[in-house]
Structure 1
Amino acid sequence: MTGRTRTMDMIDNGPNPNAFDIEEATLANDDYRRVVWTGRHLQVTLMSIPVGQSIGLEVHPDNDQFLRIEGGEGRCVMGPAEDQLNFQQDVSDDWSIQVPAGVWHDVINTGSEPLRLYSVYSPVHHAHGRVHPTFEDAEADEESGEDEPPAWTGHELPQWTVGPVR
């Protein structure tokens, strides 16, 4: 992959300052979810949703979420309850989705290739640097309590060092 970001080489160096080509990294990502940066109040993840699958119907009571589609086609559904998903929108390259805290939501891959997107959470929602190759891996981590934000996201930040991310 000459000229492309290899997501397997990316590390979550948060809360250190960071910059990378997010479109390139998103399109290169094959993992269901990969946390690529964790700050005290904000977190960035890359996602790749296989054909016919979805991110999974969910609600984040305390997190606003921004998603941007970089590749593929899908359908976004949202609503006040899991049986009241009255907002529906087809989405594709360059579309963004804004999910307010407390709103049920899902993004379903309706296309013929993986749906590639990135997500920004505020406040932090996942464990620092966590990589979930599949939806099932993500579910298992959440059920076991292994996918919790680091303690420092609610407290004093650790000392950081300036340096580039591989």
Structure 2
Amino acid sequence: MYHDPNGDPYQNHYYHYFPYHNYGWQPDPQNGINYHTPYRETQKDFGPAPFVVNINEAAKRNNTFRTALWTGSHLQVTLMSINAGEDIGLENHPNLDQFLRVEQGRGTVRMGKSRDNLNFVREVVDDSAIMIPAGTWHNVTNTGNTPLKLYSIYAPPQHPKGTVHQTKADAMAAEEHRHFSMPSANTYFYY
């Protein structure tokens, strides 16, 4: 038997605590039984019901340009996958704050008070958090060789509940349609 001079009976004492993440397992609110949330296979908006997810895994497994994961009355979480060399698109949300977190990949974020003066420039990598105040012009560009995986939190929600944009072109078309069909003061896009 292994004997640790510090009295620890485990040979590899770094791993005797269980991880806190749940790999997508969710409690069933109707009968209390655990079931696996198929966020790998399903592109579904789980809001506004209570929801717990391993956001790191969900973001890394997402292969769509944008998928609304959870939409509530005052907040929205979306998953994004930006292909190498692509960007989110220069945008401005006059009436909402935005939070982005990079889960995988590398990129550059640019922000500024006007679309022609993006003087705040930072490199972002795994675990980088980006806070974007309302009214700030911003863009994120993937400068790596692999997809840039991230999630975004909007407060209040920015996209319709259940939004899924497979590609950036789909997102641009949806925004163009939205601007012409029901004008909104929440966003200005310049692709």
Please tell me the TM-score bracket, short chain as reference.
Answer: 0.7 to 0.9
**Higher RCO structure, 1 or 2 (CA under 8 Å, sep 6+):** 1
Deviation at 1:63, TM superposition (A): 1.1
Matching residue's letter, 2:79: L
Q: Which of residues 142, 150, 164 in structure 2 aligns to 1:109?
A: 142
TM-score, with length taken from structure 2: 0.73
1:61 to 88, 94, 97: 94
Query: Which whole-Å deviations, capped at 9, do the CAs of 1:4-45 have from their partners, x for residues lacking one?
Result: 864441421211111111000000000000000001000000
Give the conservation status (yes or no) of the 8 Å contact 2:43–2:67: no
1:80 to 93, 113, 124: 113
> Aligned partners of 1:8, 1:135: CA distance in 2, in Å?
20
Say which is worse superposed, 107-116 or 7-16, in terms of deviation: 7-16
Compute the displacement of 1:143 (Å). Answer: 1.0
Quote the Cα distance in structure 1 between the aligned partners of 2:111 and 2:130: 10
Secondary structure of the residue aligned to 2:171 is helix
Of 4-13 and 71-80, deviating more is 4-13
> What is residue 119 of structure 1 aligned with on the other side?
152
Moved more, 48-57 or 10-19: 10-19
Unmatched tracts of structure 1, length 5 or more = 149-166
TM-score, length of structure 1 as denominator length: 0.83
For the pair shown, the structure with the greater C-alpha radius of gyration is 2
Separation (CA, whole Å) in 1 of partners of 2:73 and 2:128? 27
1:37 to 70, 73, 76: 70
In the alignment, which residue of structure 1 is the partner of 2:125?
92
In structure 2, distance between residues paired with 1:53 and 1:145: 23
- Structure 1 CA distance for aligned equivalents of residues 59 and 124 of structure 2: 16
